[in-house]
A and B are shown apart, each in its own frame.
Chain A
Amino acid sequence: MGANAASRPRAPWWFAVGIVLIAAILAPYYLVTDISDQIDISIIFVLALLALSMSFLWGYAGILSFGQTAFFGLGGYAYTVLALNLHETTFSFFAAIALTMLFAAVLGYFMIYGRISDIYLSVITLVVTLIFEKAIKSTSGDQYVIGSVRLNGQNGIPTVPSLRIPWSGTELSFDGVFILDAVLLILVYAGLRLLLTTTFGRVLVGIRENTRRIELLGYDSRRYKLGAFVISGGIAALAGVLYGVWNNFVAPEMFGLKRAAEVIVWVIVGGKSTLVGPIVGTAIVQYLQNKLGTQSVGEWLPLILGFVLILVVLLFRNGLLPGLVGGIGWAWRQVRRVA
């Protein structure tokens, strides 16, 4: 390592992000031209956003929140109710996210400013999402109407409006949705990476490493934690809105335990120490689920999911992919030493 090599910077990471961004915009026209493929891949982008929201909070701020599914569902429902009432999608899109962030702020205020410990926070957010599911499921009667929209209990709302392009008013096509989901995922990823280089991001990581030391340095850790909680709530809400738009359907299952468990599985498969990991993890797990055909394994899915979760926790502390990569690296070094 000469001084020369050290002073010459590597290609910056956002260079790679730019290339991926262009590739994603061109993909539906050249690479993924089949509509069913476009639909399958779009949903991976959406779910990866959800995984990203959890891994940002868990991996960088050290808060494991199960509430991500609460914000996911809330975002989806808020968008649906707003868009159906207002007959308009752009404002509803942003308003749904803003409303969910507001809710995250209130919930987060009570938990974080109450200084309850991180593990209690995990349990309470889990309780919150379960109760949301239960509450929405109980709204099947005619009297549960917001504006002109019936909430429909466990049947969900099957008439979620597709996004329209502002001003022109045309509905987004499948390739339009694909591009939107891909671009938003990449932008959120880049945004989070940038955020982590700011003072705010550094203080967050500091809190994860040693809360007391950060507080002795004069930072109010609660403000930063709450900020991270609200940001990640917003990302989860974004994923929820895009999910509703993707299949024109929202249902109480968005809040459910199975969804929450899947998010955790994606994150621990990909590893939470990087932001790319969870995206890769989501893609792999979703791809496998599609390949296995959820029809035939549907009944066995919780069993398999549970078993994988136990095994990964016991065997790979830092996540499945990082564990495997580390293992392969270790084996490779052994081979090189012998050779």
Chain B
Amino acid sequence: MQQLANYAYLIGFSFSIFVLISVGLAVIFGMMRVINLAQGEFLMLGAYVCVIATTAGLSVWLGIVLAALAVGAFGVLVERLIIRHLYGRIIDTLLATWGLSLFLIGGVTILFGPQSESVGVDLGKFSIGDFTYSVYSLAMMAIAVAMLVATYALWRFTRFGLVVRGTMQNPRMAAAMGINTDRVYMLTFGFGSALTGLAGAVLVPITGASPQLGLTYIAKAFITVIAGGPLPLLGATAASGLFGFIDGIMDYRYGPVLAQITVLLVAILLLRLLPSGITGRLRRGL
């Protein structure tokens, strides 16, 4: 029973990390079809904003909100300066955002140094059997689920969501209906960036912030969204569930590297069997 509870915790923990790192990408790559290789660095920027906020004496929670706002604004800037010129040129987008990724890693290393910064949050601890876990990790899981639900609600139930979905489905038709698609693209990219920044800040107390933070997660984020398939939110959630399950168990038994290799192998096998991802057969949904 205790062992089961431990496994449940570890799987929930892995699942929420997969969700955090991939939900912003599900918007930017899954919905907008923009390959953003700087996605990991958006996480990293969010993490650093949170570090700066807490060293300035603000609470972590405020730091998390600030991270979402700051990275969202940064995303809008990136969209205006770089991405806007490259819609429809997928490989060029990939190269340019890769350049951006290297640029941000280089810049942050020069500004803050290569060492890892940490943010302490003490919400107490709880234990299952012999293992002790922090309460903050439960908060992290709750935030991950809340992000999924909020994003789903935004797309599904608001006018803005409807406009965004319409624009992604058929930009010319949307433009003909009088929608400023240029602005919709800008805002959607900004929203995806904000989600990513928020996720980065939420991760800081667990992982710390270093210039290399993005590199740790970029691979996982992309395979999650790719394996998820054409319905970005549902797909990313389902893939996070699958990979979180595998990763949680493998990490516990054989360590993180083997866990990651297994996840990759499963993803490649999965794409061989279901080339268009987990949600490839579904007709409708988000």
Q: Are A and B interaction partners?
A: yes
| Chain A interface residues (CB < 8 Å from chain B) | 64, 107, 110-111, 113-116, 119-120, 122-124, 126-128, 130-131, 134-135, 138, 257-258, 261, 264, 268, 299-311, 313-314, 317
When the two chains form their complex, are residues B271 and A114 in contact, meaning their CB atoms are under 8 A apart?
yes
- CB neighbours (8 Å) of B99 from chain A are 305-311, 313
Contacting A300 at CB < 8 Å: which of B106, B264, B272? B106
- CB neighbours (8 Å) of A258 from chain B are 102
- CB neighbours (8 Å) of B222 from chain A are 123, 126-127
- CB neighbours (8 Å) of B100 from chain A are 306, 310
Contacting A110 at CB < 8 Å: which of B107, B110, B268? B268
When the two chains form their complex, are residues A303 and B110 in contact, meaning their CB atoms are under 8 A apart?
yes
Sampled A-B contacts (18; CB under 8 Å): A64-B94, A110-B271, A113-B272, A114-B273, A120-B226, A122-B91, A124-B271, A126-B219, A130-B218, A131-B264, A261-B102, A264-B95, A264-B98, A300-B106, A302-B102, A306-B99, A311-B99, A317-B92
When the two chains form their complex, are residues A309 and B271 in contact, meaning their CB atoms are under 8 A apart?
no
Say yes or no for B66: interface residue by CB 8 A criterion: no
Say yes or no for B249: interface residue by CB 8 A criterion: no
- CB neighbours (8 Å) of A119 from chain B are 35, 90-91, 94
Contacting A127 at CB < 8 Å: which of B82, B90, B101, B264? B264
When the two chains form their complex, are residues B110 and A257 in contact, meaning their CB atoms are under 8 A apart?
no
Nearest first, the 8 closest Cβ-Cβ pairs linking A and B are A309-B99, A306-B103, A303-B106, A306-B102, A302-B106, A310-B99, A127-B219, A114-B272
Residue of A nearest to B268 (CB): A110
Query: CA A311 – CA B85 in complex, angstroms?
Result: 12
Say yes or no for B86: interface residue by CB 8 A criterion: yes
- CB neighbours (8 Å) of A305 from chain B are 99, 102, 106
Say yes or no for B109: interface residue by CB 8 A criterion: yes
Say yes or no for B223: interface residue by CB 8 A criterion: yes
When the two chains form their complex, are residues B257 and A115 in contact, meaning their CB atoms are under 8 A apart?
no
Distance in Å: Cβ of B91 to nearest Cβ of chain A: 6
Per-residue 0/1 for B89-121: is the Cβ within 8 Å of any A Cβ (1 yes, 0 no)?
011101110111111111101100000000000
- CB neighbours (8 Å) of B226 from chain A are 116, 120, 123-124
- CB neighbours (8 Å) of A302 from chain B are 102-103, 105-106, 109
- CB neighbours (8 Å) of B98 from chain A are 261, 264, 306, 309
A-B contact sample (7 more), CB < 8 A, given A64-B91, A124-B267, A313-B95: A115-B275, A124-B223, A130-B218, A130-B219, A302-B103, A313-B99, A314-B85
The interface centre, meaning the residue of A299, A309, A313 with most chain B CB atoms within 10 A of its CB, is A313
Distance in Å: Cβ of B245 to nearest Cβ of chain A: 19
Q: How many A-B residue pairs have CB under 8 A?
A: 118
By size class, the interface of chain B is: 35 or more
Distance in Å: Cβ of B71 to nearest Cβ of chain A: 18
Query: CA A268 – CA B96 in complex, angstroms?
Result: 12
- CB neighbours (8 Å) of A313 from chain B are 86, 92, 95-96, 99
Residue of A nearest to B220 (CB): A127
Query: CA A126 – CA B40 in complex, angstroms?
Result: 14
Distance in Å: Cβ of B39 to nearest Cβ of chain A: 11
- CB neighbours (8 Å) of B37 from chain A are 126
- CB neighbours (8 Å) of B102 from chain A are 257-258, 261, 302-303, 305-306, 309
Distance in Å: Cβ of A105 to nearest Cβ of chain B: 14
When the two chains form their complex, are residues B261 and A131 in contact, meaning their CB atoms are under 8 A apart?
yes
